Structure 1
């Protein structure tokens, strides 16, 4: 290892650091103005105590103890805005507005929401009655940086607003003003409507042209440290992400698996999504630019954790004719597709239903059908079973085609084995004769793969469907107490990598069903596939997969939603039943054999594709023979 030496750059660094420390000591020496401010401290504390007992007719105010030191400092530093620090509202008091689904507390200090409780939903702890709180205990901030005319920088989160609560019909209207004078202020306006998770929010200014530098935009920063609300922290964290809409309907998100940053233009909304709950800031006047950042706070999924992500969004607010005027909205509530979609503001994109055809299947087929079934008043577990039965019935023709192809291949297996033995020293000839056999028999060896490919969109759509179904949250079925999370039947005294520290029963049942399904389908199919020289033995590979696939699913789904495992267990069990019915009562191997023999006697016109493949093989065979002669 090279020994570190003190070079010129290090010496310069030490000198600069020493200079900065000396300057800080000098700068922190009380000035005459600060001493004067300290003398006013007792007056401010007295005003703060009076504010605690002050009650208004229009506001429900909850008063927290005021920090007199901060109040005094604010009065000394805010210049024109020091007017606010001398008002009775210059305390950490909060005003509460509430409807049947949402309870909010807005602080005088900073003028932003310091508590957002989604009513009617509890956290993940068993037998817990702790409500889901998206915001609490200072995990969020909403701050506008004010650049004053005298070149100072102030932050609204440290300043005091004056609240006024009124009503407009059934709506609760809370107006908070950060005052620089009687007619000079920055204003936040909240409007909460009955039974709505969405509230109106406005930012406007009046008379600040001489107080704040309006030549450039003000920097707004919204930050949220997301609390864990679900049983499986790894599962919740996988779907906790920052989503945003930009440039007339485009949407994007930050990578949920790692720390990530991005920026966009013409942003119309930003969502801090916490899997099954979300916070959204929307604007009518698009933000010209916005920067986004997501920090992953789950360092070790084996350990319990309080937070999952730390989201930050930075937005410039532009002045127009010397004033701010933004009409916006806040949403605090479930990440429920139906609720978000009803707002008709493209908020359904916040729910990850898949892209392309997968999202289309979920939006226009699975969500409406499952909603119809679950609306019958039955348990959600039974609803999943009925939904699965319906999907399998619709897919039964594909299952029939797949099994029919496998049955034909099974009938041809003895003849294929003969060809393999006859031409074992001539792979090209063996392939040619095998294709001729398929052609004469009227059998397409790829027919068994096509049904599987047709089912892939369904498989992937369902894989996205169940994690996004808010209705499954904390709904029980049999031993599962929450269909949106894992169904633990036994807690292990240790942790197994990639598996976890608990045993879920539905994934075990689903894995067993998958094993028997693959045994029935893949087993016969791979035995009929000829092995080509220089190519891997697909039969051996598929035989291995019969055992590996269920084990992989067991590990993968142990921490997933039990509703998804329930679906795969029921789905594969039904498929096995359908295939047994097809095998024993519909498709008869002796009839298939007779049909194949009849097809062999018929002259069948060679397709262009078959002709081209035959010619290519013949050319390859001729080239190989020519090389041997040389």
Structure 2
């Protein structure tokens, strides 16, 4: 099994952005493609993994015990439809050959198909007693259409030896979930039931969004195993995962998913993903190719599996209603990031958009304001420490100059002044660290929020994709940037530039020894955001733009109306004059270590 790869660009980008912001803080304290013949004839590359095919169809194949029919007919097409789905089946193979979602369209107004023609294959592989492989995708099934109340039922049966394999599909009037059962009858005399049957499910994921790279970033296989654990294949060019007791496999195509669930867990599952978009940049039809090999065990010499098949949107609200842990298919983040999104961010956003009926762009702005207000007490502590540090700057500069040849002594004196004035850098860093979970949670929320799909705001036609104001002609593309210019990332970059100028401008002229060039970082951070977010969801860039504006506003209010320099100086002098509290164990230990290091340093100088 290959090692799972994650989206390293996303991880690197978020790490660098947060690192730059933290460094700045510390420094200052010191759908479906066009339906045409060309698109429908795109072939998979030669190295795509496929299940070995049976021999070329002939009338019959005989051995000493059993005759298996293998027809070359193209089969008959049968349609099942409800208010949400059009599903097309073929009697050759008995599986779904086309899945059309009625209520949705691609970015260029074409229908959304989760399965179409030869890009979706479902094959049940049985092992005959003589070792041959029987592929149900090559068998002709006999259809029977009935009803079960308001539900439509399609039964497909194919002969296997003297017995049969039966697929049963039941569709409710208003549901994306399809009941699907596999049952065999009388096959034990022809099939080696000591070898597990294998489902081979293959699907190619279509491009449906304006930004193919952004869509591909959230396209992957997710699956559940061992009674509730979940995992994913990741973003590698070729990735695979294998687990036992698999209860569902989801082919997530960003905002749409095909999910196969089973009441009786599959014995094991091998899930494979091939990143077509990254391997072949010359095509713009497919993002990834998926394949799963799921083992089914026999009970009493027969197969009996009750399953479900979901074809629909990757919408947290819809998936959560099924109560089968399908909400995990939506990537809200792991651990605390996911909890913040599930129990705070998502309910608040739903309240604004659904309960109050506010437009989605305005809802993002309101959500941003609420987040900043909730974090304002934490921010105030950071800004207060920052203000104290700036007031102490002249004294700290004098210490730096006085002990410029003795780094240890300089550090001791600096810490002493900070401690006496109540302006310890750690007291300001902690509030900044408390914001980190919210920062990453929102980074996960906006790109995966189904409600933002194809919702417009100002010049952005789709808040789930980039907001291009200009597209380069003749296929011209700037490396790492793209083939277009997005406006919201530009505004976010400008706002973060002014924020950093406000927080670093007073200290850039006197950089401290050993510290990085903050003027360089002040230009690097906005540039990085400009490039990194050019292809991301415009809703995310809108959030950062508004968040930066609010942060600048809060800083101006605190600076001009809340923090009184004279009062802060008075508090510092008062703190200095107070009797010194007994140091804690950690502080005492640190002081002891520094004193020992100072003594060793002086001893070394004398020895010279």
* Secondary structure, aligned partner of 1:392: helix
Q: Is residue 2:486 matched to residue 1:504?
A: yes
Judged with a 3 Å threshold, the aligned counterparts in structure 2 of structure 1 residues 83 and 411 are, in CA distance, closer, same or farther, namely closer
Instruction: Give the alignment partner of residue 564 of structure 1, picking from 540, 553, 556.
Output: 540
TM superposition shift of 1:194? 1.9
User: CA–CA distance in 2 between the matches of 1:105 and 1:78?
Assistant: 33
Does structure 1 retain, via aligned residues, the 8 Å contact 2:126–2:134?
A: yes
My pick for the range that moved more, 506-515 or 601-610, is: 601-610
Partner of 1:296: 275
Partner of 1:553: 529
My pick for the range that moved more, 520-529 or 211-220, is: 520-529
* Secondary structure, aligned partner of 1:321: coil
Judged with a 3 Å threshold, the aligned counterparts in structure 2 of structure 1 residues 326 and 190 are, in CA distance, closer, same or farther, namely same
Judged with a 3 Å threshold, the aligned counterparts in structure 2 of structure 1 residues 115 and 78 are, in CA distance, closer, same or farther, namely farther
Partner of 1:75: 59
Judged with a 3 Å threshold, the aligned counterparts in structure 2 of structure 1 residues 81 and 607 are, in CA distance, closer, same or farther, namely farther
Q: Is residue 2:259 matched to residue 1:273?
A: no
Partner of 1:603: 579
TM superposition shift of 1:277? 0.6
Q: Is residue 2:311 matched to residue 1:332?
A: yes
* Secondary structure, aligned partner of 1:248: coil
Judged with a 3 Å threshold, the aligned counterparts in structure 2 of structure 1 residues 144 and 500 are, in CA distance, closer, same or farther, namely same
* Secondary structure, aligned partner of 1:409: helix
Question: Mapping of 1:189-204 within 5 angstroms?
Answer: 189-204=168-183
My pick for the range that moved more, 307-316 or 323-332, is: 307-316
Q: Deviations over 1:369-392 (max 9, x none)?
A: 111111121211111111111111
User: CA–CA distance in 1 between the matches of 2:112 and 2:465?
Assistant: 16
Q: Is residue 2:448 matched to residue 1:472?
A: no
Question: Mapping of 1:12-27 within 5 angstroms?
Answer: none
TM superposition shift of 1:213? 2.6
Q: Deviations over 1:210-259 (max 9, x none)?
A: 23333322222011111111111111111111111111111111122321
Does structure 1 retain, via aligned residues, the 8 Å contact 2:61–2:69?
A: no
User: CA–CA distance in 1 between the matches of 2:511 and 2:262?
Assistant: 60
My pick for the range that moved more, 558-567 or 235-244, is: 235-244
* Secondary structure, aligned partner of 1:95: strand
Does structure 2 retain, via aligned residues, the 8 Å contact 1:74–1:159?
A: no
Instruction: Give the alignment partner of residue 594 of structure 2, picking from 597, 613, 617.
Output: 617
Instruction: Give the alignment partner of residue 496 of structure 2, picking from 514, 521, 524.
Output: 514
TM superposition shift of 1:180? 4.5
* Secondary structure, aligned partner of 2:157: strand
User: CA–CA distance in 2 between the matches of 1:218 and 1:400?
Assistant: 63
TM superposition shift of 1:84? 8.5
Partner of 1:99: 82
Q: Deviations over 1:278-324 (max 9, x none)?
A: 11111111111111111111146864511111111112222111211
Q: Deviations over 1:109-135 (max 9, x none)?
A: 10000000111110121xx2x211010
Does structure 2 retain, via aligned residues, the 8 Å contact 1:188–1:201?
A: yes
Q: Deviations over 1:78-120 (max 9, x none)?
A: 886766859xxx6521111111111101110100000001111
Partner of 2:145: 165
Partner of 2:11: none
User: CA–CA distance in 2 between the matches of 1:299 and 1:629?
Assistant: 62
Partner of 2:515: 537
* Secondary structure, aligned partner of 1:354: coil
Judged with a 3 Å threshold, the aligned counterparts in structure 2 of structure 1 residues 78 and 372 are, in CA distance, closer, same or farther, namely farther
Q: Is residue 2:191 matched to residue 1:212?
A: yes
Does structure 1 retain, via aligned residues, the 8 Å contact 2:69–2:139?
A: no
Aligned length: 548
Question: Mapping of 1:239-258 within 5 angstroms?
Answer: 239-258=218-237
Judged with a 3 Å threshold, the aligned counterparts in structure 2 of structure 1 residues 217 and 611 are, in CA distance, closer, same or farther, namely closer
Partner of 1:156: 136
* Secondary structure, aligned partner of 1:495: coil
TM superposition shift of 1:422? 1.6
Q: Is residue 2:366 matched to residue 1:390?
A: no
* Secondary structure, aligned partner of 1:223: strand
Q: Deviations over 1:513-570 (max 9, x none)?
A: 1111122234457779853xxxx224x2x33211101100111100000000000000
User: CA–CA distance in 2 between the matches of 1:397 and 1:338?
Assistant: 32
Greater RCO, CA 8 A, separation 6+? 2
User: CA–CA distance in 2 between the matches of 1:278 and 1:321?
Assistant: 34
Q: Is residue 2:407 matched to residue 1:407?
A: no
Q: Is residue 2:289 matched to residue 1:306?
A: no
**TM-score, scaled relative to structure 1:** 0.83
User: CA–CA distance in 2 between the matches of 1:393 and 1:446?
Assistant: 23
Partner of 1:119: 102
Does structure 2 retain, via aligned residues, the 8 Å contact 1:100–1:195?
A: yes
Does structure 1 retain, via aligned residues, the 8 Å contact 2:495–2:549?
A: yes
User: CA–CA distance in 2 between the matches of 1:439 and 1:201?
Assistant: 68
User: CA–CA distance in 1 between the matches of 2:512 and 2:237?
Assistant: 45
* Secondary structure, aligned partner of 1:500: coil
Provide structure 2 residue ranges, at least 5 long, that are not aligned to the other structure. 1-53
User: CA–CA distance in 2 between the matches of 1:150 and 1:625?
Assistant: 86
Question: Mapping of 1:344-363 within 5 angstroms?
Answer: 344-363=323-342
Does structure 1 retain, via aligned residues, the 8 Å contact 2:266–2:295?
A: yes
User: CA–CA distance in 2 between the matches of 1:400 and 1:334?
Assistant: 41
* Secondary structure, aligned partner of 1:496: coil
TM superposition shift of 1:155? 1.3
Q: Is residue 2:350 matched to residue 1:368?
A: no
Does structure 2 retain, via aligned residues, the 8 Å contact 1:84–1:161?
A: no
Instruction: Give the alignment partner of residue 594 of structure 1, picking from 566, 570, 577.
Output: 570
Partner of 1:286: 265
Q: Deviations over 1:415-438 (max 9, x none)?
A: 111111222222222222212211
Does structure 2 retain, via aligned residues, the 8 Å contact 1:81–1:178?
A: no
**Which one has the largest radius of gyration?**
1
Judged with a 3 Å threshold, the aligned counterparts in structure 2 of structure 1 residues 354 and 338 are, in CA distance, closer, same or farther, namely same
TM superposition shift of 1:72? 11
RMSD (Å) for aligned C-alpha atoms? 2.2
User: CA–CA distance in 2 between the matches of 1:432 and 1:100?
Assistant: 73
Judged with a 3 Å threshold, the aligned counterparts in structure 2 of structure 1 residues 72 and 291 are, in CA distance, closer, same or farther, namely closer
Does structure 1 retain, via aligned residues, the 8 Å contact 2:94–2:137?
A: yes
